[in-house]
Structure 1
Amino acid sequence: MRVRTVSIFLMALLFIPLSVVPVLASSEETVSTKQQQQMVNIAHRGASGHAPENTMAAFQRAFEMKADYIEIDVQMTKDGKLAIIHDTTVDRTTNGTGSVGDLTLEELQQLDAGSWFSEEFAGEKIPTFEEVLDAYRGKIGILIELKSPELYPGIEEKVAETLMERNMHKPNNNKIIIQSFNHESMQRSKELLPSIPHGVLAGLSWADVTDEQLAQFATYADYYNPNMNIVTHDLVDRVHAKGMEMYPYTVRTQEQADNLFELGVDGIITDFPEYVDKHPGGK
């Protein structure tokens, strides 16, 4: 009887690999799907491939396309107001000329910020920071870039005050993030808004960033967001090892989105949100 029992046990062991293999495959598939679903979709200056950048039309298009975040560029006017525009001059994206910092908010808002893109958007205005916050808070994440803050002393404080007035300075599912190429500005901003995640932007010159530099960034930043052309598996791994996430910029083709997806980044900053959504498991 004992011999029969042992034989049955040994026969059962032979079948274990067959039953385990599908379970393991299913587990791997689950992990893969989870990773795909976690890919964060950030609409660069709004859905700027479909509407004029940094306008309410572009932000609304991004919202309708179900992006996770809109990315906006904040600068300061001559009269100390916060305006949403990328370039430090109005020449490229409006029918006006001159530096943002030399114009009052009233002067900025008299400009046409849509016709350059398409006549369909003629009359689009340069929005204010407050206008964007009030329109989209609680509806979509907002990735706030402080654009050339060295030109606007005190902009970090003004941004902080505006967020605090709306009780948006507390973490709310990471729906507010602040970033800049000016890393000293991010250190100041983090001191003012310790509960809000911050990110450092990195251009091509940061292709050889060291572990020591990443460790320094990690003392105040939650994100290391580089130009997509310097992203490698190794860089992604090293950024993750320092406890930070990575949202590279700026995707303008499906191939670029696919490449970043394969490299294992956490999110993608893109002019075309649909390129990120086309991945299996996307929205």
Structure 2
Amino acid sequence: MEPAVIAHRGYAGVVPENTVAAASFAAAQPETTAIEIDVQPAACGTPVVIHDERLEGTADRGRPLTDGEGLVWETPLETLQSAHVLGTGETVPTLAALLEAIPETMGVNVELKNPGATDLRAGESLPDDERAERQAVWQPFVDRVVTDCDDFGGEITFSSFCEGAIAALREVAPGYAAAPLVWDDSEAGLEIARRYDCEAIHPPKNAIVGSGLEGVAYGGGDVGEPDVDVVETAHEEGRTVNAWTVETWLEADQLLEAGVDGVIAEYPGLLECD
């Protein structure tokens, strides 16, 4: 089977991320299996496609994401839709508008980024007595996201760093595929995958045993040497493994040699040297 190539924010390395232009570009690349996007609510609750909590967030870019300011979930939809992304003419789209721009032959990975809250409990496997509370935080937003996704005829997978989001998805729409995103605790990610019978798991590239990338600092986090072989364990349990975020053909080659099923890629063309 050919490895999956998932376009990170629509190949954010070459086009303005999480925009209609990015989605259209990614869908036009022959190697693209799916397009990964991030969703959060506008002030009215409408799902919009944007990564950072704040419109002026810099994250890993070194410059403001948009020419607007403020928390996404406190900003009116009209203002979000007029915020220009990374100095381009592209603006923040609604989830519905972005999905309309993608052919139904293309898969979509919808990352449930934020339900409109500052306390996310990301990257944790939650204790029994806290799961219901965290699910309740996410459920209204997840319900809105699922409603938009139900109108898309293509294949959709939902992912999140937050167990509450995965729990809410399984309550709202158990028929969709789900994948916990791993930050610095692969075992926690595997526990969440088991708890909700997730079809996949998405670890960072520096958590993949045998890749040569083990323990390398990435994305502001240093996982150290992996204490669990997430690829071997996930495969034994019948789950696929997609590693993020892959930036070079050499990384892609190393990760595929180590057994991952797919790469969440910053650029197109990373498998052309295979």
Smaller-chain TM-score range?
Answer: 0.7 to 0.9
Q: 1:157 to 1:100 in 2, by over 3 A?
A: same
2:166 to 186, 189, 194: 186
Q: Any residues of structure 2 matched to 1:113-124 within 5 Å, and which?
A: 113-115=85-87, 122-124=88-90
Is 1:155 the counterpart of 2:141? The answer is yes
| TM superposition shift of 1:190 | 1.6
1:107 to 79, 83, 87: 79
Q: Any residues of structure 2 matched to 1:239-278 within 5 Å, and which?
A: 239-278=234-273
Give the aligned residue type for 1:110. Answer: S
Where does residue 236 of structure 1 map in the other structure? 231
Where does residue 120 of structure 2 map in the other structure? none
| TM superposition shift of 1:197 | 0.4
1:71 to 4, 15, 36: 36
Structure 1 CA distance for aligned equivalents of residues 156 and 143 of structure 2: 16
State the percentage of identical aligned residues. 31
Is 1:57 the counterpart of 2:33? The answer is no
Q: Is the 8 A contact 1:176 1:196 kept in 2?
A: yes
Where does residue 51 of structure 2 map in the other structure? 86
Q: 1:103 to 1:264 in 2, by over 3 A?
A: same
Q: Is the 8 A contact 2:66 2:85 kept in 1?
A: yes
Q: 1:270 to 1:123 in 2, by over 3 A?
A: same
Q: Is the 8 A contact 1:218 1:244 kept in 2?
A: no
Moved segments of 4+, more than 4 Å: none
Is 1:214 the counterpart of 2:190? The answer is yes
Q: 1:150 to 1:82 in 2, by over 3 A?
A: closer
| TM superposition shift of 1:215 | 5.1
Unaligned runs of 5+ in 1: 1-33, 116-121
| TM superposition shift of 1:149 | 2.9
| TM superposition shift of 1:41 | 0.3
Q: Any residues of structure 2 matched to 1:127-146 within 5 Å, and which?
A: 127-146=93-112
Structure 1 CA distance for aligned equivalents of residues 18 and 256 of structure 2: 25
Structure 2 CA distance for aligned equivalents of residues 193 and 248 of structure 1: 25
Q: Is the 8 A contact 1:114 1:125 kept in 2?
A: no
Encode CA deviations 1:85-133: one digit per residue, 9 max, x unaligned.
0001111211111110110110111211141xxxxxx211111100111
Unaligned runs of 5+ in 2: 57-63, 118-136, 211-228
Structure 1 CA distance for aligned equivalents of residues 265 and 73 of structure 2: 27
Query: TM-score scaled to structure 1, two decimals?
Result: 0.75
